[in-house]
Amino acid sequence: MAGAVGQSSIITALSHRAGNVARNVFLVAAGERVPSLGANGAFLSWDGTSFSAPYISGAVALLMEAFPNLTANQVVDLLFNSATDLGAIGADVIYGRGLVNLEEAFKPQGTTSIAVKTPAGETKVVAMTGSALLGGEAFGGFSGLSTALSDSMMLDGYGRSFRVDLGQRIFNQNQTIQLESLIGSTRGYRTSSLPFSSSGQVKISWIEDWRFQEVDKRYFSHQGTVRSRDLRTKLNLSLAPDRAITIAQGLSMKEAMEDYDQNEFLTIGKEDFMALIGRGDSQSTVINQNLGTKSRITLAMARGGREWQQYNIKADNYIMIARIDHRLSGPLKLGLDLGVMTERGSVLGSLSSGAISLGKGATTTFVNARFDWALGRKITLFTRASYGVTDVKAVDLSLVQNIANLTSTSFSMGLTGHSLFQRGDRLSFAVSQPLRVTGGQANISYVTSRDYQDNILSFIDRNISLAPDGREIDFELAYRMADIFGASVDLNILHQINPGHNARSPDNTGILIRFGSAF
């Protein structure tokens, strides 16, 4: 049934009202001063529902012509659901379901989905709302994948096809310099060590002041926020004169394996595969065995958890490392790590789900090499390099059909000096490249066109490179002064080229000065 409204969308005096019986099947359209041909061929203005009904029937005809897959019942339902609500909220006794809105009817309605092709060649649909990718830093901004998916096709709740830029569903989790790295490092944390025997002690860290985390959460968080916990404990035990075990909770793997201060630098020491097991929901076990006075073997196992709350995506990472350190001579030390990392729910730190899921998980085999050369008593030259090969376990329902030949690297080199200007100070300068994908292709299969007559979706297969279009290079100068009347002073100067391995990102320079005192 049809009613007539004027230019102000108020029902006309000549029009029928919906009433209680027809309120759910009643629409209104223009019915006042409607231009139409008269008997003499001249244009005249007409009033009444006789001129509203053709508007509605014309809308039906346009929808059925544009979307031949729609049934008559679907077209009617579409017009009802897309109508502009007038009068009382919802279907009412005057305007019924509301004013016909053809523009809205031509927009996607209902639950949107993405058509994907299964390994068996069948076509399935995956909900659009649950399809997202939070890119790990090693992949940069996924520029190749974003470009390839920029002209994809989605289906609405009525099975109609619409163009969509799925590249907008790919988010970056890295910021140039994160607020937490600046003010949430040492400030606000308290640490206590409890020796319970000559061979063991427990070290506990906790947050005493949550104000900075509240600032970060309220003003600096964004779509790429990954949730993690912050409880830190470390238990050191000497099992024998040449053997020791460390059990850690809430510490990065590097902190658990080495005498490493996670908060001292912004980038140094955070560039390799171990960085994927960071602070937060992590547990580590490290066993050290000395082989004489020059060599040591280390076995380490760690688990790290990550959660992307916005899309309810969780991931668990497990890593095992066999390390050997050897002193060639007094000033020269070499080190080699062989490791395997298993990810469940992520690929090199990238979290994804739905139609743009990268895979169920991945297994990475990697090697880390280290070289330290003491240039006298105060200065040490250091180099670090990593290389890994990743095997990705594909999912059945995703536009990303397969990822192959995925390799990644990282490196750092620099100088560290101790007690150069005053007793107990430390000065370091380093050049580093964070973990970066250097090779790898993804085969994607997505819909490019649709034949409505035969209801056939046409897929196209493409191979794209997963290597970033840029390469981040970090130059960092870090200086830690010795305690001055109980206070500590840290200075960091950082310059980044292509931050986030993104060629379009402008270079970034930051200076951080931290003052701290325990009282």
The helix/strand/coil state of 73 is: helix
Task: Please write the tens of the pLDDT for every residue from 100-151.
Answer: 999 999 999 999 999 999 888 889 999 998 899 998 889 988 989 999 999 8
Grade residue 395 by pLDDT with cuts at 50, 70 and 90. Answer: very high
176 has pLDDT over 50: no
Confidence (pLDDT) at 438: 96
Q: Which two tokens stand for residue 327?
A: 């002193």
Confidence (pLDDT) at 212: 46
Confidence (pLDDT) at 61: 95
Judge whether 430 and 413 are in contact, CB under 8 Å.
yes
73 has pLDDT over 70: yes
Q: Which two tokens stand for residue 478?
A: 């870090």
Q: Which residues of 169-190 are buried (b: 16+ CB within 10 A; e: fewer)?
A: bbbbbbeebebebbbbbbebbe
Confidence (pLDDT) at 184: 46
The top-level CATH class assigned to 169-517 is: mainly beta
* Ranges 57-71, 148-162, 207-221, 249-263: which has the least confidence: 207-221
| CA separation, residue 403 to residues 189, 281, 290, 391, 516 (Å) | 41, 28, 41, 8, 47
23 has pLDDT over 70: yes
Task: Please write the tens of the pLDDT for every residue from 274-294.
Answer: 888 877 778 999 999 999 889
What mean pLDDT comes out for the span 68-87?
Answer: 93
**pLDDT greater at residue 204 or residue 431:** 431
* Distance separating alpha carbons of residues 515 and 487, to the nearest angstrom: 7
* Ranges 142-156, 187-201, 433-447, 463-477: which has the least confidence: 187-201
Share of the chain above pLDDT 90, in %: 48
DSSP secondary structure code for residue 329 in this structure: S
Share of the chain above pLDDT 70, in %: 84
**pLDDT greater at residue 373 or residue 490:** 373
Range with top average pLDDT, 50-59, 201-210, 489-498: 489-498
Nearest to 407 by CA among 273, 252, 269, 304: 273
Confidence (pLDDT) at 18: 84
Q: Which two tokens stand for residue 182?
A: 């600046």
| DSSP conformation letters of 100-135 | --HHHHTS--SS-EEEEE-TTS-EEEEESTT-EEEE
The top-level CATH class assigned to 2-105 is: alpha beta
Confidence (pLDDT) at 181: 47
User: Torsion-angle region of residue 485: left (phi > 0), alpha (psi -120 to 50) or beta?
Assistant: left
Question: What's the farthest any 2 CA atoms get from each other in the chain?
Answer: 113
Domain boundaries, the chain: 2-105, 169-517
What residues have CB less than 8 Å from 480, skipping those under 6 apart? 264, 425, 426, 427, 488, 489, 490, 491
Nearest to 422 by CA among 489, 337, 477: 489
Element of type H or E holding 479: strand 473-484
What mean pLDDT comes out for the span 234-251?
Answer: 83
Confidence (pLDDT) at 183: 47
* Distance separating alpha carbons of residues 428 and 265, to the nearest angstrom: 9
Judge whether 421 and 482 are in contact, CB under 8 Å.
no
188 has pLDDT over 60: no
Grade residue 354 by pLDDT with cuts at 50, 70 and 90. Answer: very high
Write down the mean pLDDT value for the chain: 84
**pLDDT greater at residue 364 or residue 202:** 364
24 has pLDDT over 80: yes
Name residue, tokens 């989605």: 154
Range with top average pLDDT, 198-202, 282-286, 320-324, 325-329: 320-324
Confidence (pLDDT) at 175: 47
